[in-house]
Amino acid sequence: MLAQARIWREQGLTIGLVPTMGWFHEGHLSLMRDALNRANRVVVSLFVNPIQFGPSEDLAAYPRDLERDRKLAAAEGVHVLYAPEAAAMYPQGFQTSIRVADLSCGLCGPSRPGHFDGVCTVVMKLFQQTRPHFSIFGEKDFQQLAVIRRMSRDLDLDIEIIGHPIVREADGLAMSSRNIYLKGQERQQALSLVRTIDYARQRVAEAAQPLVVRDLLAELGSRLVHEPGCRVDYVAIIDETTLRPAETVNPSCRLLLAVKINDRVRLIDNAPLGGWNETAI
């Protein structure tokens, strides 16, 4: 991979990287198209990164089908689907880790200890291996995007980090490889996330003055307890850059939530909330 990337660089070609864990859906394909519109060469990495999964998480069960993904990436015109083996990524003796301290702490941090360290470490390795000029990440994983932006800035990586809007199913459910775990009525229950987002955005749009975040969160929480099969991991309204909690809803605020459906499938979603005096959000 590195030898190929060096040749492209020598030829003056721009390289875009889209890191993924595979089991492609429209969200992944949309990131690939975005990259293809910006670069001469696009690398899509496919690596189910063991070090970002906790011991009780779904590493073994994570959906995998390399042949299916290969066809989908090829149909988009992706130049390289880079799917390294775990043993090649982490050979014996591997012991380095990258940690973005503060941004990894809150939100998904407490329920997924070590997760963002694993993400940063593998993304840094993928950057070294593919030598991209830019890399695209979905806003679906909003905390991840903020963490990677911070890492890139802090370590002077000279790689542009691009965020890509969330791609949704027709009924609003954010696309995710993990949606395949939803069985029967769980698919309907999963709409509780986007329902909460729609409600919050409407409350903000209709408010005559800035909403107090504490009050809005209490309202969202009391609605979510009535959603069948839903256990809230967190609901937060934070500043988009610092990920710190906001006090009143302002234009740089975003609503982030994580919910477990039937104590089994953990889903995340998020959306900007806009300011109280904005129109048409």
Q: Is 52 in the site for ligand AMP (CB under 6 A)?
A: no
Provide the minimum distance between the beta carbon of 166 and ligand AMP in the complex, in angstroms, as a whole number: 4
Q: Is 161 in the site for ligand AMP (CB under 6 A)?
A: no
Neighbours of 3 (CB within 10 A): 6
The footprint of ligand AMP on residues 163-202 (CB under 6 A) is 164, 166-167, 174-177
Q: Is 236 in the site for ligand AMP (CB under 6 A)?
A: no
Measured CA to CA, the distance from residue 151 to residue 219 in angstroms comes to 35
Query: Which one of 109, 118, 132, 138 is in contact with ligand AMP (CB under 6 A)?
Result: 138
Q: 46 or 217, CB closer to ligand AMP? A: 46
Is residue 28 annotated as a catalytic residue, yes or no?
Answer: yes
Kindly determine how many residues on this chain lie close enough to bind ligand AMP according to the rule CB under 6 A. Answer: 16
Nearest to 254 by CA among 177, 165, 172: 165
Q: 136 or 253, CB closer to ligand AMP? A: 136
Tokens of 29: 């394909």
Calculated CA dihedral for residues 239, 277, 137, 177, nearest 10 degrees: 100
Provide the minimum distance between the beta carbon of 110 and ligand AMP in the complex, in angstroms, as a whole number: 20
| Alpha-carbon Rg for the chain in angstroms | 19
Q: Residue 147: phi, psi to the nearest 5?
A: -65, -45
Tokens of 281: 């959000």
Measured CA to CA, the distance from residue 246 to residue 2 in angstroms comes to 43
**Residues designated as active site:** 28
Q: Which residues make up the interface to ligand AMP (CB under 6 A)?
A: 20-21, 27-28, 31, 137-138, 140-141, 164, 166-167, 174-177
